[in-house]
């Protein structure tokens, strides 16, 4: 029981840290004029370098092994430059275009895309539980973006586009590195993915060019929070929780991420969230609960069929 309590604490810490970091990023975009590209670039480069340094100093893992085979080199380049950079940039762009709550909820449509992809490659109809999950996801998205009216869209079209793109890249991020994770472990893969993603972003958003970003004590603390708590600490807590909980349990408890993002956006950043948007949030959270029960087993079965 004690191990389970520790696991619950760790996964909730990770989920809430991810959710809060979205609202902190929104604060940087809205009040301090930092750009999405710059924040993503500096977050990925710094987090990846720190994670790789930590591995090099504390682990016997061969951090360079991933570069010794052509197949793994190709896969890590795809993961870093498309999966990692793609999901980070589209998610933060969705936040900048709307708010952290809406962006996080739209990103959590990724499990639906994973289910549809799985059904497509297997040429089978998804099981009943998954079909119900897809229906609740569609209902949630409808209420979230339309305020209950078929004739209007209550959020900016670009925010919807970025949010749905974020869900797509999160699905790619989840499925594509399956073989890499199996061979080298998640920490090495994520560390190199971050560095490669940040390196690719730096060609478009050099980390030394901050643009109109306003550096104050609060903005510096916010940037540090996004890098440390929203990335490194959250990642470590999530991985550590897997030692104490079943994977399905960690998936269910990860619902705390969109909830924390929504509540913080409303309470701290004063983002207006009407009744229809809360209904949409409820349906999307229901989708997460329905699909996460089988999501991990689906991903394991796909491990031998990387994209």
Q: Give the mean pLDDT of 176-202.
A: 90
- 129-161 pLDDT, tens digit per residue, is 778 878 888 888 777 777 666 666 667 889 899
**Which of these ranges, 140-149, 263-272, 290-299, has the smallest mean pLDDT?**
290-299
* pLDDT greater than 50 at residue 22: yes
pLDDT for 153 equals 65
Smallest Cα–Cα separation from 160: which of 253, 268, 280?
280
Round the average pLDDT of the chain to a whole number and report it: 82
Cα(233)–Cα(17) distance, integer angstroms? 8
Q: Give the mean pLDDT of 65-69.
A: 92
Smallest Cα–Cα separation from 251: which of 243, 242, 262, 260?
242
- 97-125 pLDDT, tens digit per residue, is 988 888 888 887 887 888 888 888 888 88
- Per DSSP, 67 falls in state G
- 225-236 pLDDT, tens digit per residue, is 999 888 888 877
pLDDT for 15 equals 80
- Read off the pTM: 0.82
* pLDDT greater than 90 at residue 64: yes
Angle between helices 217-227 and 2-31 (to 10 degrees): 140
- 210-224 pLDDT, tens digit per residue, is 888 899 999 999 999
pLDDT for 304 equals 38
More confident residue, 238 or 99: 99
Angle between helices 85-97 and 100-107 (to 10 degrees): 140
Domain-wise residue ranges, the chain: 8-304
Q: Give the mean pLDDT of 271-278.
A: 76
What does the radius of gyration of the chain's CA atoms come to, in whole angstroms? 19
């Amino acid at each position: 029981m004690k191990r389970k309590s520790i696991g619950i604490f760790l996964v909730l810490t990770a989920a809430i840290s991810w959710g809060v970091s979205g609202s902190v990023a929104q604060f940087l975009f809205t009040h301090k004029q930092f750009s999405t590209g710059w924040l993503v670039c500096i977050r990925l480069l710094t987090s990846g370098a720190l994670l790789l340094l930590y591995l090099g100093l504390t682990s016997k893992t061969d951090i360079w092994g991933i570069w010794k085979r052509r197949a793994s080199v190709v896969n890590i380049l795809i993961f870093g430059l498309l999966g990692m950079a793609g999901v980070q940039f589209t998610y933060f762009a969705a936040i900048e275009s709307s708010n952290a709550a809406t962006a996080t909820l739209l990103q959590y449509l990724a499990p639906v895309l994973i289910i549809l992809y799985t059904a497509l490659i297997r040429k089978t109809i998804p099981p009943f539980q998954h079909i119900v999950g897809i229906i609740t996801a569609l209902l949630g998205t409808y209420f979230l973006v339309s305020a209950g009216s078929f004739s209007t869209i209550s959020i900016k079209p670009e925010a919807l586009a970025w949010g749905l793109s974020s869900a797509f890249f999160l699905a790619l991020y989840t499925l594509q590195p399956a073989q890499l994770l199996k061979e080298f472990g998640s920490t090495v893969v994520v560390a190199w993915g971050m560095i490669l993603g940040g390196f690719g972003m730096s060609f478009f958003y050099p980390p030394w060019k901050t643009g109109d970003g306003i550096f104050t004590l609060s903005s510096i603390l916010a940037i540090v929070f996004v890098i440390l708590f929203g990335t490194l600490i959250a990642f470590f807590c999530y991985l550590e929780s897997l030692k104490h909980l079943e994977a399905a349990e960690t998936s269910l408890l990860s619902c705390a991420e969109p909830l924390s993002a929504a509540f913080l956006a409303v309470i701290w950043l004063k983002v207006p969230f009407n009744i229809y948007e809360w209904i949409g949030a409820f349906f999307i959270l229901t989708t997460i609960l329905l699909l996460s029960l089988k999501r991990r087993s689906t991903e394991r079965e796909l491990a031998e069929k990387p994209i």
